[in-house]
Structures are given as C-alpha cells and as structure tokens.
Structure 1
C-alpha cells in the first residue's frame, strides 16, 4: 500500500515501533501545532511587528502606485479624452503596471526571505523546548502539524508559555 503524503513511511515505522497493547498504557504521546506557535508566541508576534515596520515604506510606495493607477484608469475611462493624451496615459499606465508587478514580487520575495530568517530562531528555540519537555516528562513521541489530534495530547500551550519566558 502506498501513502499519498511525504513522511508516511516514517510515521508507519514510528507506529510499528510503538509498544504492544499490553504496555500501551505506558506510552506517552504529545502534539505541537507549529502554526499556532508562529502566530501566538511572544517572539513570533515581535517578529511580525518588526517585519511590518521594516516593510512599511515599500508597502506605502506600492499603495502610491496603486493610487496613481486608479487616477490613470479614471482618465482613460473618459470618452472625450484627446488621442494624444490617451496614448500618453496608456503608456504611463502600462509602465506603472510593469513596475508595480516587479516591485510587488520583489517585496514578497524579500519579505518571505526575511520572515524565514527571523522565524528560524523561534523554530530552533521551540524545538529545544519540545525536546526538554519530552525528556523531562518522558514522552515517547511528539508529533507536529497533523490533520486531527485529540486535544488531550496538545502541548502547544505549554510550548507557548515557555517561549514567552
């Protein structure tokens, strides 16, 4: 039987290594919601604010470009616009559109790169905390990001508390 998602082999191997039903009561399972950590942890919130401030000037510039494009669209929608003016506005609009798309794409790429750089430290710290909790409380398996996990196994709030310290 083939699995449709990556990592299925590892999950099957991990499940196969689980203790038998006789000692299942000793098995300790935990779950971490990584997306929630990146959304709610104090360091993650601080990173979001830092990135918003860092990229605000570029966002403002894009908004100015959008406003100018709307002005040009309004001018171009006038039926009594002289042919020479229409050509001039068309050229400006086309140039503005190309420039806007390039700048927006560049900003999105830069933002994602910076976000990944910044969140790597949160991820690293969260992983250390997960490992410490696993060793301290003797967890056998801690999973991250699943479709569904019973809330009684969710350790995310505990990780958030540790990250906020």
Structure 2
C-alpha cells in the first residue's frame, strides 16, 4: 500500500513537472533504502547492543528454566516405574504447572522485547527522517523516496543519510 502511494507521488511529481514545462532532468530526486539505514547506521548498532544487554539476563534465565524443566521431565520419566500413582500424578502436575509458567514468562519476554525494539526503532526512524528532511532542504531536492522498488545508484542517497546519522552525537 505504502509502495503504491510512493509510486503515485513520484508519478504525480513527474506529471506536474512536465505540465509546467520542466524536463525530467531538471527534477532532483533522491532515494533512501530504509532497511540499509536501519542495518548500517551506528545508532541502529548501538540500539541493538543496548537491547541485547537489557534482555540477555532474562533470556539466560528462560534458557536455564527450560533446561531445569527438561531435566525434571527426564527424571520423572526415568523414575516413573518406581513411583506410586499419587507421587507420579503430583510430579506430572508440577511439571505441567512449571511448563505453563515457562510459556508465560517466554511470552512476556517476547512482548517486552518487541515493545523495546519498536521504541528503539521509532527513535531511529524519527532521527533518520529528520536527517532526510535536512538533506532535502539543504540540497534542494524536489522529491526523496524511501524504499522504492527500483532506483539507480545515481539517485541513491542512502550512504549520505547513514553518514549524517553517524555524525550526530
């Protein structure tokens, strides 16, 4: 949907330019590969490292809990023939409850991680958009597109955007 909108905007700009007597070569058009910006900008790398640091302890705790649960399940399976019916039932209930707890914690972890990623990504997108606007104004572009289907290297200003983002403190 967004891609079609951007294509329509580009077509409208070109039609307006030809209608006013301008030739296409007089238009100054730029293209930014947002995915590349999000992957290569130092701010993106810092955000990723920050998230890894922030969530690594919880992730390790989940893995440890899963290992303990797996060990308890193996022990129950091994001990099962020698256990009384009541003891076997109690241990099975404990395992089911522990598994539910693990699944809940894993869901909460994924939700928290996704929320933080969205927050970090939102901040990066805002900064990138400000940089793109600054380039647009300073270099007097008529149109800057993000994430076009095809764009020649001649109009690709992605590196310029990444460099400007990296220059910010």
TM-score band (shorter)? 0.7 to 0.9
Deviation per residue, 1:110-135 (Å, 9 max, x gap): 12222222232222221111111112
Q: What's 1:35 paired with? A: 35
The farther-off stretch of 61-70 and 74-83 is: 74-83
State TM-score, norm by structure 2: 0.81
Q: How does 1:12-27 map to 2 (within 5 A)?
A: 12-18=8-14, 19-20=17-18, 23-27=23-27
Do 1:129 and 1:162's aligned partners in 2 also have CA atoms closer than 8 Å? yes
Once the two structures are overlaid, the 10-residue window that deviates more, 12-21 or 26-35, is 12-21
1:80 to 2:88 alignment: no
- Larger CA Rg, structure 1 vs 2: 2
TM-score, length of structure 1 as denominator length: 0.83
Q: Tell me, in whole angstroms, the C-alpha distance in 2 between the residues paired with 1:136 and 1:16.
A: 23
For residues 52-104 of structure 1, the C-alpha deviation after alignment (integer angstroms, 9 at most, x for no partner) is 11112211111111101221332344373534453233222211221111111
Listed as ranges, the gaps of 5+ residues in structure 2 are: none
After TM superposition, the runs of 4+ consecutive aligned structure 1 residues lying more than 6 A away are none
Secondary structure of the residue aligned to 2:81 is coil
Distance 1:9 1:160, change over 3 A: closer
Alignment of structure 1 residues 123-142 onto 2, 5 Å: 123-142=125-144
Q: Give the structure with the larger helix fraction.
A: 2
CA RMSD, 1 decimal:
2.3
Between stretches 45-54 and 28-37, larger displacement belongs to 28-37
Aligned to 1:60: 60
What is the aligned residue count? 161
Structure 1 range deviating more: 81-90 or 105-114: 81-90
Question: Displacement of 1:41 after TM fit?
Answer: 1.0
List alignment gaps of at least 5 residues for structure 1: none
Query: 2:6, 2:148 within 8 Å by CA — same for their partners in 1?
Result: no
Determine if contact 1:75/1:81 at 8 Å carries over to the other structure. no
Taking the aligned partners of 2:105 and 2:155, their CA distance within structure 1 comes to: 44
State the match for 2:145 in structure 1.
Answer: 143
